[in-house]
């Protein structure tokens, strides 16, 4: 170990060591270190501290590396995608079989050249040759190892044995107190021999609106084509064709098939909604209907009039439900049945949907929705758990960002099948829909706003023909029932298309990346493994933003999972509320304990882990 010289510095060596140690050991800014030293009577500027960290930081890191015992010869390599400065990067990480970090490298790609760079660094900096190198199934590793004549020590594709390196997908440091990871923070962490505060998943990840709206547009065209074909065949049957008889008389003949075909197509156009669900959905074991209870209208600070329903015992833990876009509060029919006897439920319609009235066009947007929700939190009068599906989850994230003083009124939040940014970025075919956004999607939304009565009539015709049911079926997984399909199709039809288009435009300009890092209450994130509208990666991203968050994955469900598998979702919500609401009565807790456990799990370091629900 080489001694570090502090000559020609007017401050004592102990002060310099303490400043450098504080800066690299904790997530502190230069100003933070300056204030900590000032509290101990040492007046030093943050620029001086910056110079010390630049000069002495690398020297301290080299000495620490020399003092470490040699690592194990059994290495584990892994890479993960992350976003640094808004750019897609790859974090390569190597550890030994005891979990000791060997090296961390941030690169722009994960090809053979990138893997080769990591391996060369390892061979150059480590004092021991590898006996085994365990990786996942990425093809870049064998290509790089072959160039180094190390293919004989490679053990690929053994995920169970590579758990050491797979842990790089978990947060390494405590909750980051700053936003997005920067190159400097990666460099500082690498100097300490640790990883930067990475998210569990940082890749690009949807929403009901663009994808299903796009599909529904084409199914509406199909419905119109069927209606037009029926009209043409009926007209052509009535007109018939003139035929001259043997006697020389002209006789009008009509083809019977045209009449029967046109009648069949007309029946499809107006009665198809009765037949289509029977063909594409399962029989109901428990029906859901768009039925309301007794509600009241509440004036919001945005000027909107909000329709609000309350259910359940007065003294029970409070849960506020926010539905997804295109739906209304009747979406929570199963939740009222499953939770209404144990919890105090507050259900509301978003402005412009259901019975709520939007004050103006400015009231249709995520910031306005968050203001409405904040008003309902104050209206509840006690700490509440916020539950949001799709845009409801986006509204909750906006509230967390815009109303930090309201965090003390929250007992926890539950985000169901939602996203953290522009929905077009976290849905399937995201690149295609982002390319179509300005030339196609936004003009189409503005046309819908301008011609709302026409499009509303087309929506009702599509609903009657069953085309709407076929489009909405894409939002369900393999458990969809007929009443669920009918319920969602009816709600998406009777809500004004102009309002839906304004909300879609607002979502395209929304982003709440890293908002949950500011959250200081527990969070539960639930996603579906078949969700094509808000992909599971979006739920992983949200859960990775805070170590107070827990991710649960429900198997075999799509975007409408809170209705499709209401039994699992409501059970998970009930368990979460009972954990974060210590004031829950013993009777409520006892009844909840009778349910099958779907609980929140954490690993030995008290960090959140995924759990699939089947």
Per-residue pLDDT tens over the stretch 574-603: 999 999 986 544 444 444 444 433 333 333
Rg (CA), the chain: 30
Name the token pair of 436. Answer: 């179509």
Asked if 141 and 115 count as a contact pair (C-beta separation under 8 A), the reply is yes
Shared domain check, 149 and 102: yes
Q: How far apart are CA 56 and CA 50, in angstroms?
A: 10
Shared domain check, 256 and 274: yes
Asked if 358 and 351 count as a contact pair (C-beta separation under 8 A), the reply is yes
- Residue 165, pLDDT score: 60
The answer to whether residue 235 is domain-embedded is: yes
- Residue 253, pLDDT score: 86
Name the token pair of 222. Answer: 């199909």
Q: Is 530 helix (H, G, I), strand (E, B) or coil?
A: coil
Q: How far apart are CA 486 and CA 72, in angstroms?
A: 61
The answer to whether residue 413 is domain-embedded is: no
Shared domain check, 96 and 41: no
- Residue 162, pLDDT score: 53
- Looking at 67, 84, 106, the residue that finishes a domain is 67
The answer to whether residue 111 is domain-embedded is: yes
DSSP 406: G
The answer to whether residue 242 is domain-embedded is: yes
The answer to whether residue 110 is domain-embedded is: yes
- Residue 6, pLDDT score: 85
Residue with tokens 């210590």: 582
- Looking at 67, 88, 112, the residue that finishes a domain is 67
Q: Kindly give the parts of the chain with pLDDT less than 70.
A: 1, 157-214, 582-614
Shared domain check, 177 and 103: yes
Asked if 453 and 459 count as a contact pair (C-beta separation under 8 A), the reply is no
pTM (predicted TM-score)? 0.63
Shared domain check, 276 and 216: yes
Terminal C-alpha separation, the chain:
55
Asked if 495 and 474 count as a contact pair (C-beta separation under 8 A), the reply is no
The answer to whether residue 579 is domain-embedded is: no
Task: Give the count of alpha carbons within 13 A of 53, CB side only.
Answer: 24
- Residue 68, pLDDT score: 73
Shared domain check, 106 and 80: yes
Among 291, 294, 228, 235, which residue's Cα sits nearest to residue 259?
Answer: 235
Shared domain check, 61 and 112: no
- Residue 393, pLDDT score: 97
The length of the chain is 614
Shared domain check, 186 and 101: yes
The answer to whether residue 435 is domain-embedded is: yes
Q: How far is CA 398 from the centre of its chain?
A: 14
Shared domain check, 228 and 179: no
| Residue 153, domain CATH | 3.30.420.10
Tally of CB atoms within 10 A around 225: 11
Counts for the chain of helices (H) and strands (E), in that order: 22, 16
Number of domains in the chain: 3
| Tens-digit pLDDT profile for residues 275-290 | 999 999 999 999 999 9
Residue 170's φ and ψ, nearest 5 degrees, are -100, 150
The answer to whether residue 290 is domain-embedded is: no
- Residue 297, pLDDT score: 96
- Looking at 145, 160, 192, the residue that finishes a domain is 192
Distances (CA, A) of 453 to 322, 326, 350, 373, 440: 27, 17, 21, 30, 21
Name the token pair of 149. Answer: 């004549």
Domain, as residue range, for 52: 13-67
Shared domain check, 176 and 94: yes
Among 373, 415, 363, which residue's Cα sits nearest to residue 390?
Answer: 415
Distances (CA, A) of 127 to 62, 78, 151, 152, 218: 14, 21, 20, 20, 64
Residue 478's φ and ψ, nearest 5 degrees, are -90, 5
- Residue 158, pLDDT score: 52
Shared domain check, 121 and 78: yes
Q: How far apart are CA 537 and CA 420, in angstroms?
A: 11
Task: Give the count of alpha carbons within 13 A of 427, CB side only.
Answer: 23
Q: How far is CA 572 from the centre of its chain?
A: 17
DSSP 600: -
Q: Which alpha helices (H) appear in 68-139, and where do they start and end?
A: 112-125
Shared domain check, 100 and 186: yes
């Amino acid at each position: 170990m080489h001694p570090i010289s502090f000559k020609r510095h007017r401050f004592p060596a102990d002060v310099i060591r303490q400043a450098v140690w504080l800066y690299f050991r904790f997530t502190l800014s230069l100003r933070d270190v300056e204030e900590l030293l000032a509290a101990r009577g040492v007046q030093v500027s943050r620029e001086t501290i910056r110079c010390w960290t630049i000069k002495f930081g690398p020297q301290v890191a080299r000495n620490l590396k020399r003092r470490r015992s040699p690592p194990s010869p059994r290495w584990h390599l892994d890479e993960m995608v992350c976003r640094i400065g808004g750019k897609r990067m790859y974090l390569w990480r190597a550890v030994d079989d005891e979990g000791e970090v060997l090296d961390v490298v941030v690169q722009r790609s994960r090809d053979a050249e990138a893997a080769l760079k990591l391996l060369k660094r390892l061979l150059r900096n480590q004092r021991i040759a590898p006996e085994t190198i365990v990786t996942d199934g990425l093809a870049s590793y064998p290509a790089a190892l072959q160039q180094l004549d190390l293919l004989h020590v490679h053990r690929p594709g053994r995920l169970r044995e590579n758990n050491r390196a797979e842990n790089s997908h978990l947060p390494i440091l405590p909750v980051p107190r700053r936003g997005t990871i920067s190159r400097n923070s990666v460099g500082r962490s690498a100097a300490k021999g640790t990883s930067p505060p990475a998210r569990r998943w940082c890749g690009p990840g949807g929403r009901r609106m663009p994808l299903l709206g796009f599909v529904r547009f084409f199914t509406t065209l199909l419905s119109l084509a069927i209606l037009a074909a029926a009209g043409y065949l009926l007209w052509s049957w009535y007109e018939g064709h003139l035929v001259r008889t043997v006697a020389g008389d002209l006789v009008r003949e009509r083809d019977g098939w045209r009449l029967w075909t046109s009648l069949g197509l007309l029946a499809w156009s107006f009665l198809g909604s009765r037949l289509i669900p029977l063909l594409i959905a399962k029989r109901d074991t428990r029906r859901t209907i768009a039925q309301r209870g007794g509600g009241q209208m509440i004036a919001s600070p945005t000027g909107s009039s909000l329709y609000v329903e309350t259910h359940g015992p007065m003294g029970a833990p409070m849960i506020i439900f926010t539905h997804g876009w295109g739906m209304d509060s009747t979406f929570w029919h199963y939740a009222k049945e499953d939770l209404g006897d144990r919890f105090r439920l507050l259900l509301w319609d978003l402005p412009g949907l259901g019975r709520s009235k939007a004050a103006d066009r400015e009231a249709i947007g995520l910031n306005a929705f968050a203001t409405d929700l904040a008003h309902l939190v104050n209206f509840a009068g006690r700490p509440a758990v916020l539950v949001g599906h799709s845009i409801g989850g986006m509204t909750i994230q906006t509230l967390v960002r815009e109303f930090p003083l309201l965090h003390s009124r929250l007992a926890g939040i539950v985000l169901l099948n939602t996203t953290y940014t522009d929905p077009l970025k976290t849905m399937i075919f995201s690149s295609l829909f982002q390319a179509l956004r300005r030339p196609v999607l936004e003009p189409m939304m503005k046309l819908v706003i301008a011609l709302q009565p026409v499009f509303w009539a087309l929506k009702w015709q599509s609903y009657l023909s069953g085309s709407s049911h076929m489009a909405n079926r894409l939002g369900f997984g393999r458990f969809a029932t007929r009443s669920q399909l009918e319920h969602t199709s009816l709600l998406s039809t009777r809500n004004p298309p102009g309002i839906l288009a304004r909300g879609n435009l607002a979502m395209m300009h929304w982003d709440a990346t890293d908002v949950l890092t500011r959250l200081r209450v527990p969070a539960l994130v639930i996603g579906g493994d078949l969700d094509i509208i808000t992909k599971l990666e979006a739920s992983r991203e949200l859960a990775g933003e805070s170590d107070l968050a827990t991710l649960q994955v429900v198997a075999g469900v799509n975007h409408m999972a809170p209705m499709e598998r209401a039994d699992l979702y409501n059970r998970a919500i009930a368990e979460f509320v009972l954990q974060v609401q210590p004031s829950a009565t013993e009777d409520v807790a006892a009844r909840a304990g009778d349910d099958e456990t779907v609980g929140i799990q954490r690993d030995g370091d008290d960090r959140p882990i995924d759990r699939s629900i089947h």
